[in-house]
Amino acid sequence: MFTEETIKKIQHLKTPYYYYDMALLQKTLNAITTESVKYGYHIHYAFKANANANIIQAIHKAGFGADCVSGNEVKCAVENGFDTSNIVFAGVGKSDDEINYALDKTIFCFNCESIQELEVINELATAKDKIASIALRINPNVDAHTHKYITTGLEENKFGINPYEFDAVIEKLKSLPNLKLIGLHFHIGSQITDLSPFKQLCLKVNKINAYFLSKEYDLPIINVGGGVGINYQEPDNEAVIDFAAYFKVFHDFMELRKNQQLHFELGRAVVAQCGSLISKVLYIKNGINTNFAILDAGMTELIRPALYQAYHKIENISSISPTLIKYDVVGPICESSDCFGKAVELPITQRGDFIAIRSAGAYGEVMASRYNLRDEVRSYCSDEL
């Protein structure tokens, strides 16, 4: 929510930029901590959602671990003071350099996605005379009912090891002495707003967990990834999601043994609502059927609408006009897909008005590009203004 006081503070800043409400981030972190400690769950923050330095620092202070998907994310976590014993590293295509770096740092766990990857990590660990702790990323074939580009837990997706490969993996591990299998890892997709896929996940995990025990792998770590969704339609109604309900699903349906810890990798639900992309209207073009509001921000700053047809609430935070008109809100990039929203109802909008594109804290700034040789996008946090 943009109060007059906030607007006063930010209106002199050169647009476009990301604005982060650090008080809301803190409130979200507190809610996650309160609801997860009830069950002794371990939370890793998925760096891929937002790696802004101030945000990372706040999350580190909250005591979260780190979930990384590249060597540079591991490096970013290390440089920001995350304990290496709290860093997990996933990804279907880890390069040798990335694996070597993570081995040197003795991270908590590699989440491994294929048999060949197991062989390579074993070989690189052997060369360093190290034992790498690993978890198997398993594809549980659970439909997350989310956009096809962000569903990951189906057999047709490139992620994880499929159940029909378990016996081959178990056999393979016997010949890889520099790997220590410590856990099972899952992630079924992102922006999951109905909790029932998580219940399905728990039921699948129970079976897989029992299967590995039957093969004499009593694994201490179960990691269920992230994926819980947020309210893009009405960001102010539910600025902090119902983490109590989310964690309770796992408490109710996951059968953990006494020695087993449950780990999560939350990204979007931590940072999405605290961020907005702030932009200025450059031009208004009134057509016969369509009025265009042309912004100084485009798909280069926030690609989600163009890439996933994602909805972000768009607000004119400076107009005081009581009359509402529909606009296609577009960016300046030379692509027709550079559109933030069609037929968006806004108060009469003029050149120079401020537009806030809401719920942009996750997968916004990190996915920005310099296409069209645009400037790198700026960002400001509420506590530094």
Which residues of this chain interact with ligand LLP, rule CB under 6 A?
A: 46, 48-49, 67, 90, 150, 152, 187, 190-191, 225-227, 265-269, 304, 308, 362-363
Question: What 8-state DSSP symbol labels residue 91?
Answer: -
Q: Least CB distance from residue 149 to ligand LLP, whole Å?
A: 7
CA distance linking residue 344 with residue 282, whole number of Å: 17
Six token digits for residue 97:
């350099």
Burial of 93 (0-12, 13-18, 19+ CB in 10 A): exposed
- As a residue count, the chain comes to 385
DSSP 270-336: HHGGGEEEEEEEEEEEE-SS-EEEEES--TTT--HHHHH-----EEESS---S-EEEEEEE-SSSST
Output the furthest CA–CA distance in the chain (Å, rounded). Answer: 72
Burial of 234 (0-12, 13-18, 19+ CB in 10 A): exposed
Q: Least CB distance from residue 173 to ligand LLP, whole Å?
A: 21
Q: Least CB distance from residue 37 to ligand LLP, whole Å?
A: 19
> Would you say 176 or 269 has its CB closer to ligand LLP?
269
Cα-Cα-Cα-Cα dihedral sign, residues 290, 293, 296, 298: negative
Q: Least CB distance from residue 319 to ligand LLP, whole Å?
A: 28
Q: Least CB distance from residue 370 to ligand LLP, whole Å?
A: 18
CB 337 within 8 Å of CB 299:
yes
> Would you say 357 or 362 has its CB closer to ligand LLP?
362
> Would you say 35 or 265 has its CB closer to ligand LLP?
265
CB 102 within 8 Å of CB 89:
yes
Q: Least CB distance from residue 186 to ligand LLP, whole Å?
A: 9
Q: Least CB distance from residue 223 to ligand LLP, whole Å?
A: 8
Burial of 199 (0-12, 13-18, 19+ CB in 10 A): middle
> Would you say 265 or 353 has its CB closer to ligand LLP?
265
Q: Least CB distance from residue 337 to ligand LLP, whole Å?
A: 15
> Would you say 60 or 304 has its CB closer to ligand LLP?
304
Q: Least CB distance from residue 145 to ligand LLP, whole Å?
A: 14
> Would you say 197 or 332 has its CB closer to ligand LLP?
197
> Would you say 10 or 299 has its CB closer to ligand LLP?
299
CA distance linking residue 242 with residue 224, whole number of Å: 18
Element (H, E) at 340: strand 339-347
CA distance linking residue 121 with residue 119, whole number of Å: 6
> Would you say 200 or 291 has its CB closer to ligand LLP?
200
CB 368 within 8 Å of CB 348:
no
Neighbour tally for 382: CB within 10 Å: 17
Q: Least CB distance from residue 123 to ligand LLP, whole Å?
A: 24
Nearest residue to 87 via CA among 35, 20, 42: 42
Question: Cis peptide before 16, with omega less than 30 degrees from 0?
Answer: yes
> Would you say 112 or 293 has its CB closer to ligand LLP?
112
> Would you say 121 or 293 has its CB closer to ligand LLP?
121
Identity at 287, one-letter amino acid code: G
